[in-house]
Amino acid sequence: MNRIETDLLVIGAGSGGLSVAAGAVQMGARVVLLEGHRMGGDCLNYGCVPSKALIAAAKTAHAQATSEKFGVAPVAPKVDYAAVMDHVAGVIATIAPTDSQERFEGLGVTVIREHGRFLSPTEVQAGDHVITARRIVIATGSSPLVPPVPGLEDVPYLTNETLFDLRERPRHLLIVGGGPIGMEMAQAHVRLGCKVTVIEGERALGKDDPETAAIVLNRLRAEGVEIAENALAATIRGKPGDITVETKDGRSFAGSHLLMAVGRRANTERLDLDKAGIVVTKTGIRTDASLKTANPRVYAIGDVAGGMQFTHVAGYHAGVILRSALFALPSKARSDHIPWATYTDPELAQVGLTEAQARERHGNIEVARFDFAHNDRAIAGRATEGLIKVMVHRGRPVGVSIAGAQAGEVANLWALALANRMKMKDIAAMVSPYPTIGEVGKRAAGAYFSPRLFDNVWIRRAVGLVQRLLP
């Protein structure tokens, strides 16, 4: 058995683990990185990167079919599904070197391509290596959650880990789960020429603001996506090319392919966490505000920590723990400023609290609104479906809900504002280039101040007095 002593051991080479490893080794720490599967983790290989590549291809096909509004004759797109998936694979291959073993070994990280399991609070075994580390970071991410629906075990089904291996276009894709993954893949596939049915046990896009989510869902339905809500899958039966999902209320949906997209589960089963004194809950590893586990030498970050499951959250967590693990300085993670986006068309984004959450937490709030239909760049691009809502408490934004073109990009401004606890006056003071979609943020701030300026009788009297006194 080969024994290694190190300053920092990172278990998992997804986005969070790679960020920790790169940051720590470049600041002088000895770092060992374990990865028993693919470098880059879910985001590069099965999640963010391939899904956005597929969405880009689908958007191109849709643009060909809907160009008439720009004075350009539309054509029926000829979709080569295998070639589309080759494009997806090519995008992954282009980004992969950034996350590769070679790059990290070049930085000075010791990379071991084995799964890790705890032997004690300070020791982890990976293959024929036993690593002792001063600090350990668990960044093993999450995997698709496949619920125990009767009959599912006898039916071929896809998850986000197998969907991008397809080379034959599904005739009719059934998607169980109406969250971000399900809705993104639904729109992408209907634009690529598939028939698509989404089967959701509660409300589609249920974690987002209902008003902005409705804008997206209406567009998807208009494009041909069938969305069945309050349709909890009860039984699944069939064979390759002929699958039926029956719901508890008696509805039945038949299709050729089945995608399970009901959520994620934390990857903890291989780790033998009990040997390290680490507590696991139903959602993941239990941590405190500094992302330490019950074992103070061990941190858990990203999806495995059981909170928000986004790549950028794992990256944020990496920055939080580096301060603590490398410099022994206090550092805590926040969640009130975290953004997320769903890359449908129009896009859907959220920063901080939804309107309902803001009212529950703060009681008295104001909601500033601005419609994309009044944004000149959106009008020029025929992309006027959309709305931005800013929830304001005591002059400070506490949440922003956006549905519309480039909503994920528009959210960047508000992520900055909430992270730095800026006020609405700071947003109003910004000068936005014209014409841009991003101007909707400033216009929302303007909508907040308009009644204070234009409907205020004292301001009107003051202006009148000043004008009478001026020479």
Q: Is 180 annotated as a binding residue?
A: yes
Nearest to 16 by CA among 43, 36, 37, 50: 43
Cβ neighbours of residue 413 closer than 8 Å, sequence gap 6 or more: 427, 430, 438, 441
Q: Is 399 annotated as a binding residue?
A: no
Q: For the chain, count helices (H), then strands (E).
A: 14, 21
Q: Is 128 annotated as a binding residue?
A: no
Nearest to 282 by CA among 302, 264, 295, 261: 264
Q: Which residue shows structure tokens 């495995």?
A: 304
Q: Is 376 annotated as a binding residue?
A: no
Residue 379 to residues 65, 70, 382, 385, 426: CA-CA distances in angstroms? 19, 11, 5, 10, 27
Q: Is 182 annotated as a binding residue?
A: yes
Q: Is 140 annotated as a binding residue?
A: yes
Please give the torsion angle defined by the CA atoms of residues 62, 67, 68 and 70, in that order, rounded to the nearest 10 degrees.
140
Q: Is 116 annotated as a binding residue?
A: yes
Contact 375, 385 (CB under 8 A): no
Contact 68, 74 (CB under 8 A): yes
Q: Is 184 annotated as a binding residue?
A: yes
Q: Is 181 annotated as a binding residue?
A: yes
Tokens of 156: 């071929």
Q: Is 263 annotated as a binding residue?
A: yes
Cβ neighbours of residue 468 closer than 8 Å, sequence gap 6 or more: none
Q: Is 255 annotated as a binding residue?
A: no
CA 219 from centroid of its chain's CA atoms: 20
Contact 169, 36 (CB under 8 A): no
Q: Is 183 annotated as a binding residue?
A: yes
Which residues are known binding-site members? 52, 116, 140-142, 177-184, 200, 263, 303
Which residues are known binding-site members for FAD? 52, 116, 140-142, 303
Which residues are known binding-site members for NAD(+)? 177-184, 200, 263
